[in-house]
Amino acid sequence: MTVQTWTFLIVGLTFALYIGIAIWARAGSTHEFYVAGGGVHPVANGLATAADWMSAASFLSMAGIISFAGYDGSVYLMGWTGGYVLLALLLAPYLRKFGKFTVPDFIGDRYYSNTARSVAVVCAIVISFTYVAGQMRGVGLVFSRFLEVEIDTGVYIGTAIVFFYAIMGGMKGITYTQVAQYCVLIFAFMVPAIFISLNMTGHFLPQLGFIGEVSDGSGVALLDKLDGLHRDLGFAEYTSGQKSTIDVFAITFALMVGTAGLPHVIVRFFTVPKVKDARISAGWALLFIAILYTTAPAIAAFARTNLIDTIHNQPYAEIPEWFTKWETTGLIAWTDKNADGIITYGPGLASNPGVTNELYIDNDIMVLANPEIAGLPNWVIALVAAGGLAAALSTAAGLLLVISTALSRDLMKMQIKPSMSDREELWWARGGAAGAVVVAAYFGIHPPGFVAATVALAFGLAAASFFPAIVLGIFDKRMNREGAVAGMVVGILLMFGYMAVYKLGWFVAEVPPASSWWFGISPEGFGTVAMLVNFAVSLVVSRLTTPPPQAVQDIVEDIRIPRGAGEAHLH
Rounded distance, CA 343 to CA 375, Å?
20
Rounded distance, CA 297 to CA 537, Å?
39
CA distances from 310 to 51, 306, 345 (A): 33, 6, 11
Rounded distance, CA 165 to CA 159, Å?
10
| The pLDDT value given to residue 546 | 93
Helix (H) or strand (E) holding 245: helix 245-259
The SS3 of residue 498 is: helix
pLDDT at position 452 over 70: no
Burial of 442 from C-beta contacts in 10 A (0-12 / 13-18 / 19+): middle
| The pLDDT value given to residue 101 | 65
Read off the pLDDT of each residue in 283-296 and give the average, rounded to a whole number. 89
Asked whether the beta carbons of 281 and 416 are under 8 A apart, the reply is: no
Rounded distance, CA 170 to CA 27, Å?
6
Asked whether the beta carbons of 556 and 477 are under 8 A apart, the reply is: yes
| The pLDDT value given to residue 335 | 85
| The pLDDT value given to residue 529 | 94
| The pLDDT value given to residue 354 | 53
Rounded distance, CA 2 to CA 105, Å?
50
Q: Closest by alpha carbon to 139, among 399, 396, 402, 452?
A: 396
What b/e readout covers 332-366, taking b as 16+ CB neighbours within 10 angstroms?
bebeeeeeeeebbbbebeeeeeeebbbbebbbbbb
Read off the pLDDT of each residue in 365-371 and give the average, rounded to a whole number. 85
pTM: 0.81
Residue 333 β-bridge partners: 360
Lowest-pLDDT range of 237-241, 401-405, 563-567: 563-567
pLDDT at position 325 over 90: no
Q: Closest by alpha carbon to 502, among 450, 463, 448, 451?
A: 448
Residue-wise pLDDT tens digits, 309-321: 888 888 888 888 8
pLDDT at position 568 over 60: no
Rounded distance, CA 238 to CA 430, Å?
47
Rounded distance, CA 234 to CA 470, Å?
47
Fold of the CATH domain 3-303+376-466: Sodium/glucose cotransporter (1.20.1730)
> HSE of 268 in the Cβ direction (CA atoms, 13 Å)?
37
Instruction: Give the number of other CB atoms < 10 A from CB of residue 416.
Output: 10
| pLDDT band per the 50, 70, 90 thresholds, residue 120 | confident
| The pLDDT value given to residue 534 | 96
Residue-wise pLDDT tens digits, 212-245: 888 887 888 999 999 988 888 888 888 887 888 8
Read off the pLDDT of each residue in 424-431 and give the average, rounded to a whole number. 79
Domain chopping of the chain, boundaries:
3-303+376-466, 308-371
Above pLDDT 70, what percent of the chain?
91
Asked whether the beta carbons of 469 and 484 are under 8 A apart, the reply is: yes
